[in-house]
């Protein structure tokens, strides 16, 4: 190759770094460059590529007036930090290097930036042929000094993301875990040329890379790959696993929980427990899931939950970051609305906004919607409702009304506890992002006694939607039609008949439920009626708060007020008396004030009493 020169020779000739020339070669910008082993050989007559940074500088004037696009769904750090509006979270790297735990687990709700943050860590630490320092030189971590800069590009990295491993069977799940590992092994195929690795290791490597490894082989993959990388690079790798608990949640929902837990226990043990070929480990997920012994014997793991102060500001947006973003997109006057809809979370001592929703809010021309709700299913709430006791229904009703609930929070809660221990629902709802910790105090180890509430309007919308849909599933269209006709016409006998029919159709609820269940049932019924009414619940009118109000959009239609009561083991006479008390409460507290002030001419007032499947209804004359 007398007509070819090395990267080092061209670095001296062109007076630029070897890394820069390697980057040109990787991007195909040097015509005729060929890769020989790990190095590039370049034709002696090659021309130095033009510096695109010059042309970029010429466009700075027009770029200054053009807003950067929003990083919706962007989890690639290099892309997000260089071509989109990026909120700098790189000081997480400094905090980590100051502490340097062997394995760090970050638990946060979905869509709070976990994958992007893990890719930031990979880009910073990973040893590659490309010079990736340029992605950090204008970031906060670079301003921390040379000691921190020296860690950039220092380690080989194993990066696995299980965020898309959501399948109905264990066989499908295992197959897709194998594909994730296959892709990562393929990313390190240079290990097959390593003389320091044994023939057995290379044979195993090919087995995984070719997609022929079985379950017993795959559980050892982290252990084997980390050892081979250590031998090749002379430094132990960093292992990053994003959304580690997604297959576990899917296993719980689809009936293969025990199988996926057993696999994960052995898989993580090989990578993190007493692995001398590990420099550091990072993991993210929604739950800690420690009690299943997934991390059995792993005493080198540092858990960073939403109740911990450390790293609390690095997932989600802080108030200052949202204010700066609002100013950039000329929406400073929208800050209060953003707070009402997407603020309210509290991680450790940090006030946090939902980042996914804030980004989508700006992208949606500052029109608020429940963006987060559409990013995944809300099966946790559905399962909570399915297993809820009367007390939990009552507390959920309080939460929807804006009240707080004092409860014990187990940060190591596991999925089977939803059915085995109904009181654990608040732990799930908190760590999954459906509640915020208003106040918390350490109770036992890493568990807390917390005062919790619904964070904001967006999550309140999710609760109402899920709760109403849960009740709507019980209501047949024909039953709803008859109930609607009886309600509008004031026919209390038909209304009572259809309500009791509906209650008999939903027999599984009646032994344990109380007034909150019936409130949700009737509210759900009203919500699926025709669109001629505005339906509100627990709002102030007159001297108090009515249960349910149907305000007609056409003033010629009757307005409807419903007050509900529930009792147990009542005689028919006592049940009728209870319905009369409910009707009298409407009259005494003047719940019809709002309707009267709105010019509604006819108002039907219903006092409804429930006892199991029995109903009594009283109506104004």
- What mean pLDDT comes out for the span 571-580? 94
**Residue 369 sits in which domain range?**
319-374
Residue 13 lies in a domain: yes
Residues 6+ apart with CB under 8 A from 452: 399, 404, 405, 406, 407, 409, 426, 429, 430, 435, 436, 437, 438
In what helix (H) or strand (E) does residue 540 lie, and over which residues does it extend? strand 540-541
More confident residue, 395 or 38: 395
93 and 231 in a single domain? The answer is yes
- What mean pLDDT comes out for the span 179-205? 92
198 and 100 in a single domain? The answer is yes
Domain C-terminal end among 304, 327, 361: 304
Residue 435 lies in a domain: yes
253 and 160 in a single domain? The answer is yes
Confidence grade of residue 11 (pLDDT, cut at 50, 70, 90): confident
CA 93 to chain centre: 22
Residue 310 lies in a domain: no
More confident residue, 460 or 504: 460
pLDDT on residue 582: 93
| Cα–Cα distance for residue pair 481/559, rounded to 1 Å | 18
248 and 139 in a single domain? The answer is yes
Domain C-terminal end among 36, 65, 94: 65
Task: Evaluate if residue 547 carries a pLDDT over 90.
Answer: no
pLDDT, one tens digit per residue, over 33-89 is 877 766 788 887 787 887 554 444 444 444 446 889 999 989 999 999 999 999 999
Average pLDDT, the chain: 84
Residues 6+ apart with CB under 8 A from 145: none
pLDDT on residue 424: 76
| Token reading at 82 | 């260089």
61 and 88 in a single domain? The answer is no
- Nearest CA-CA partner of 85 in 71, 65, 74, 64: 71
Highest mean pLDDT among 290-294, 418-422, 579-583: 579-583
344 and 231 in a single domain? The answer is no
pLDDT on residue 505: 65
Residue 506 lies in a domain: yes
Q: Provide the pairing of β-strand 447-453 with 436-444.
A: antiparallel
230 and 324 in a single domain? The answer is no
Task: Evaluate if residue 1 carries a pLDDT over 60.
Answer: no
The burial of 308, by beta-carbon neighbours within 10 Å (0-12 exposed, 13-18 middle, 19 or more buried), is given as middle
pLDDT on residue 98: 96
Lowest-pLDDT range, 217-226, 260-269, 306-315, 401-410? 401-410
361 and 384 in a single domain? The answer is no
199 and 132 in a single domain? The answer is yes
| Token reading at 21 | 């020339």
Residue 312 lies in a domain: no
Q: Collapsing DSSP states into helix, strand and coil, what is residue 281? A: strand
Confidence grade of residue 529 (pLDDT, cut at 50, 70, 90): low
Domain C-terminal end among 427, 460, 493: 460
Residue 54 lies in a domain: yes
Residue 469 lies in a domain: no
Residue 342 lies in a domain: yes
| Sheet with strand 614-619: strands edge to edge | 533-537, 548-552, 559-566, 603-611, 614-619
- What mean pLDDT comes out for the span 387-399? 69
Q: What is the DSSP letter of 159?
A: E
How many domains does the chain fold into?
5
- What mean pLDDT comes out for the span 489-503? 83
pLDDT, one tens digit per residue, over 193-244 is 888 888 999 999 999 999 999 999 999 999 999 999 999 999 999 999 999 9
């Amino acid at each position: 190759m007398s007509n070819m020169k090395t990267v080092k020779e061209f670095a001296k000739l062109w007076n630029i770094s070897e890394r820069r020339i390697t980057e040109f070669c990787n991007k195909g910008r040097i015509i005729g460059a060929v890769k020989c082993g790990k190095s590039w050989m370049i034709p002696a007559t090659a021309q130095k590529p033009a510096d695109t940074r010059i042309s970029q500088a010429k466009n700075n004037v027009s770029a200054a007036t053009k807003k950067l696009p929003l990083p919706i769904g962007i989890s690639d750090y290099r892309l997000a930090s260089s071509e989109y509006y990026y909120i700098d979270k790189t000081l997480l790297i400094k905090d980590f290097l100051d502490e340097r735990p062997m394995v760090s687990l970050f638990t946060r709700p979905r869509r709070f930036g976990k994958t992007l943050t893990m890719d930031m860590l990979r880009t910073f630490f990973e040893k590659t042929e490309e010079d990736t320092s340029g992605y950090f030189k204008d970031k906060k971590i670079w301003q921390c000094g040379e000691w921190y800069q020296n860690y950039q590009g220092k380690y080989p990295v194993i990066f696995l993301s299980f965020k898309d491993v959501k399948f109905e069977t264990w066989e499908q799940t295992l197959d897709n875990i194998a594909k994730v590992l296959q892709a990562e092994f393929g990313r390190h195929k240079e290990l097959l040329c390593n003389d320091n690795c044994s023939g057995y290791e290379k044979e195993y490597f090919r087995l995984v890379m070719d997609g022929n490894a079985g379950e017993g082989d795959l559980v050892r993959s982290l252990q084997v790959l980390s050892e081979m990388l250590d031998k090749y690079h002379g430094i132990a790798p960093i292992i990053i696993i994003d959304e580690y608990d997604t297959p576990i949640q899917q296993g719980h929902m689809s009936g293969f929980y025990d199988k996926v837990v057993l696999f994960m226990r052995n898989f993580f043990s090989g990578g993190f427990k007493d692995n001398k070929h590990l420099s550091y480990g990072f993991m993210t997920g929604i739950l800690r899931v420690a009690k299943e012994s997934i991390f059995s014997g792993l005493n080198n793991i540092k858990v960073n939950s939403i109740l911990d102060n450390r790293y609390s500001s690095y997932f989600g947006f802080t108030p200052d970051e949202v204010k700066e973003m609002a100013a950039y997109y000329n929406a400073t006057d929208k800050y209060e609305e953003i707070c009402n809809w997407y603020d309210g979370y509290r991680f450790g001592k940090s006030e946090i906004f939902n980042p996914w929703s804030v980004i989508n809010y700006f992208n949606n021309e500052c029109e608020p919607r429940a963006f987060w709700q559409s990013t995944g299913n809300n099966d946790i709430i559905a399962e909570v409702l399915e297993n809820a006791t009367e007390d939990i229904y009552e507390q959920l009703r309080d939460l929807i009304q804006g009240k707080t609930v004092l409860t014990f929070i187990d940060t190591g809660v596991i999925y089977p506890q939803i059915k085995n221990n109904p009181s654990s629902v608040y732990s799930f709802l908190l760590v999954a992002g459906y509640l915020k910790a208003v106040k918390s105090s350490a109770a036992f180890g890493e568990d807390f006694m917390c005062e919790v509430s619904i964070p904001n309007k967006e999550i309140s919308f999710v609760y109402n939607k899920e709760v109403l849909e849960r009740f709507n599933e019980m209501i047949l269209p024909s039953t709803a039609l008859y109930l609607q006709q009886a309600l509008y016409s004031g026919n209390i006998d038909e209304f009572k008949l259809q309500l009791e029919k509906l209650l008999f159709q939903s027999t599984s609820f009646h032994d344990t439920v109380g007034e909150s269940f019936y409130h949700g049932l009737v509210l759900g019924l009203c919500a699926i009626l025709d669109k001629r009414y505005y339906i509100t619940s627990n709002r102030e009118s007159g001297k108090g708060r009515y249960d349910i109000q149907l305000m007609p959009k056409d003033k010629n239609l009757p307005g409807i007020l419903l007050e509900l009561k529930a009792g147990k083991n009542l005689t028919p006479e006592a049940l009728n008396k209870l319905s009369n008390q409910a009707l009298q409460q409407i009259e005494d507290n003047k719940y019809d004030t709002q309707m009267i002030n709105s010019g509604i001419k006819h108002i039907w007032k219903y006092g409804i009493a429930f006892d199991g499947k029995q109903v009594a209804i009283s109506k104004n004359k």
